Amino acid sequence: MKSPVQKSPGSPGGEPSSPPEPENIIALELRLAEKQVRETVKLLAEGGTVPFIARYRKEQTGGLDETLIIAVRDRLSQLQDLAARREAIVKSLMEQEKLTPELESRVRLAATMAELEDIYLPFRPKKRTRAMIAREKGLEPLSDFILGTEAAVSLAQAAAAFINQEKGVASLEDALQGARDIIAERINEDAEIRGGLRVLFSEKALLQSSAARGKEEEGVKYRDYFNFAEPASKAPSHRILAVLRGAAEGFLTFHILPDEETAVRGLRGKYRGVTRELDEQVETALRDSYRRLLSPSLETELKNSLKGRADREAINVFAENVRELLMAPPMGRKPTLAVDPGLRTGCKITCLGAQGELLHYETIYPLAPHRKTAESAERLVKLAERFGIQAIAVGNGTGGREALAFCESVDFGRPLIILSVNENGASVYSASETARKEFPDHDLTVRGAVSIGRRLMDPLSELVKIDPKAIGVGQYQHDVDQKALKNSLDDVVSSCVNKVGVELNTASRELLRYVAGLSEKTAGSIVARRTAGGPFTSRQELRSVPGLGEKTFEQAAGFLRIRGGEQPLDASAVHPERYALVEKMAADLGCTLSDLLSNPALRKEIRPERYVSGDAGLPTLKDILAELEKPGRDPREQFEVFRFAENVHEIEDLQEGMILPGLVTNVTDFGAFVDIGVHQDGLVHISELADRFVKNPKDVVKVQQKVQVRVLAVDLGRKRISLSMKGL
């Protein structure tokens, strides 16, 4: 028969105390008003997307940006997981008939998953332990005697009473060992002890690693960690991940532990025997509990915690790099000739129209070993004339500098933009299902060259087709939590796409699926409708797309652009729900919408405070007026031509002290990698980024930034280049 759960005294209705509401916790942690959090949670629950809420619901959220909305969303998910675990534990305790009012209150008030699991540990179903076996032998009273506050008899007398051949307790030592096993488990399951030790581990543990036996030569790339020690609390992300990777590959062994004597002293603060002989038993049990139970458990927990922190830091770095890459300035829609360099197999070239459509492809052989320079130059000139080429994009792979130099040497009779383009991930795209659907009749080399050309025209539109992990801006991206990485990168890509806006009548399905509210399925439906029925002439026509309901329309419409349509505002970021408001502004001024958009003097006469209403406050009105100034403006920076140093093509061309132009290709938490045009990026260590102390490299540099660097050292054997930005 199950024992009834008694009601806790001192709480309303006699019910066990409850933790604060998630919204209250989040507001306190993020230092936000509770109303902001509640409204954000409500909007998310109603199907609101982060870009939509940040852009079009500022009055409700108090102006929260995407970063804070994501923080609210993610923390809410964590708290919901914690609540679900609480309920599962309460249910388990009820089934075990172990739930008391006090225990239920402790479970419901546990603020973290670790605290919750500590409370549940003594009741968690587990395999047979040494302590269980000792209890089955009837030795728990002896353990109570050792830990008791009185000792009426000697330890030997007390233990002798438990000798029982049938139960397998053959001697005093057998009895004492069993009692110590019970004490060790009791200490291990003491939530207060575990909580105190957890703090000690987090604050004082050392991350120590060494070479695995016999792996010194094979694992030489990890030699920096062969005799390594660092406070775990201060270890940066890249060193934690390096040690974990080295251990996973079998080249390193490691531990993350505090000083054992300090840890055991903490245990003795609560567990002592009242006599010397009893205390000796407690001391032995303490050390056994720490070494066999507590230390391995808390070390694993700390390892997971450090891995989680390192993952978050690495993912943040990766996400910011991807953001900068996606938001790189576009050249714009210009007929472009793209070159995928090759030596023995020749250079694959493609001619693209202004919308990125493939018009022509062929192979030329201007480089070694063929060196058909004159013939290749003649072909380029003819193709440039035939297709009205305005720019040439040259991939930066093998032979890239030579191909770039060749293209620059050709006399086209008119100026052309000729640039090197980072081709990381182009091969991944060319072999993808997306590329096969786009170009079913062409091989990998043609698809790769098309991707290179399109990247110059519009990096964002092309890079969304590639798994972000393949575009070369990560740090240990294959070692971090892949689900967390995907979620973060999806947020970044969605943020960039919606910030720029998407041309509804030309965007690919891959680009459309990142528009707020759209999915791969609805993006496909839009493309199918566009293919069958021709271009959309208004945003309202989206309502006729199969599967695209009112909620999806609400979320997506403001981020989709239609230029030259029947409604001028369709080319802007003004949401259709505010068209009537803008039309009223025009009517009040006695002009048309087109007049309002084209005449700055008219817009200056608008007084936004006159149009404040229940759901349209000043933040929304100011956004609308800013958009009317430059409808559909591109937030990305102005495109600029970049060139590498003409006399440097290979790593052998470098000399210490050279000052060279470069492009930042990757930012990590220990520095930045810079492409200086020699097929091998150089590293600007964090200590060489500026003439001042730099805490975080991203405060100084970003991916795709144009920089000047000085060559500090060149290691030809390991192909390593050390660079500096100091004094430049």
- Give pLDDT tens digits for 198-226: 999 999 999 999 999 999 999 999 999 99
The CATH code of the domain that includes 44 is 1.10.10.650
How much is the pLDDT for 8? 38
**Whether residues 158 and 259 fall in one domain:** yes
In a domain, 387, yes or no: yes
Which of residues 422, 442, 457 is at a domain's end? Answer: 457
Domains: count for the chain: 5
**Whether residues 182 and 287 fall in one domain:** yes
Global pTM reads: 0.89
Is the pLDDT at 2 greater than 70? The verdict is no
**Whether residues 151 and 300 fall in one domain:** yes
In a domain, 251, yes or no: yes
Is the pLDDT at 422 greater than 60? The verdict is yes
The CATH code of the domain that includes 672 is 2.40.50.140
Q: What is the mean pLDDT of residues 329-349?
A: 96
**Whether residues 623 and 692 fall in one domain:** no
Q: In what order do the strands lie in the sheet with 252-257?
A: 227-231, 206-211, 252-257
**Whether residues 179 and 294 fall in one domain:** yes
In a domain, 640, yes or no: no
**Whether residues 432 and 394 fall in one domain:** yes
**Whether residues 119 and 142 fall in one domain:** no
**Whether residues 365 and 299 fall in one domain:** no
How much is the pLDDT for 169? 97
Is the pLDDT at 10 greater than 60? The verdict is no
**Residue 272 near residue 279, CB atoms below 8 Å:** yes
Closest CA to 488 of 319, 724, 241, 682: 319
**Whether residues 344 and 389 fall in one domain:** yes
- In which domain, by residue range, is 453 found? 338-457
Is the pLDDT at 306 greater than 80? The verdict is yes
Please give the sequence-ordered ranges of beta strands (E in DSSP) within 475-545, or none if there are none: 502-503
Kind and range of the H or E run holding 713: strand 706-715
Kind and range of the H or E run holding 511: helix 509-512
Report the distance separating Cα 108 and Cα 86, nearest Å: 6
In a domain, 644, yes or no: no
Peptide bond into 341 cis (omega under 30): no
Which of residues 594, 629, 664 is at a domain's end? Answer: 629
**Whether residues 262 and 146 fall in one domain:** yes
**Whether residues 619 and 569 fall in one domain:** yes
Q: What is the mean pLDDT of residues 679-690?
A: 96
Which of residues 123, 156, 190 is at a domain's end? Answer: 123
How much is the pLDDT for 9? 38
In a domain, 475, yes or no: no
Residue 219 tokens read as 């694992």
| Mean pLDDT, rounded, of the chain | 94
How much is the pLDDT for 13? 43
The residues facing 682 across adjacent strands are 674
Q: In what order do the strands lie in the sheet with 347-352?
A: 358-364, 347-352, 336-340, 391-395, 417-421
How much is the pLDDT for 17? 62
Q: Residues in the chain, how many?
A: 728
How much is the pLDDT for 467? 87
Q: What is the mean pLDDT of residues 428-453?
A: 95
Question: Taking each helix axis from N to C terminus, what angle separates 22-30 and 66-95, rounded to the nearest 10 degrees?
Answer: 140
**Whether residues 255 and 164 fall in one domain:** yes
In a domain, 504, yes or no: no
Q: Which residue has the higher pLDDT, 14 or 411?
A: 411
In a domain, 462, yes or no: no
How much is the pLDDT for 502? 97
Neighbour count for residue 716 (Cβ, 10 Å): 10
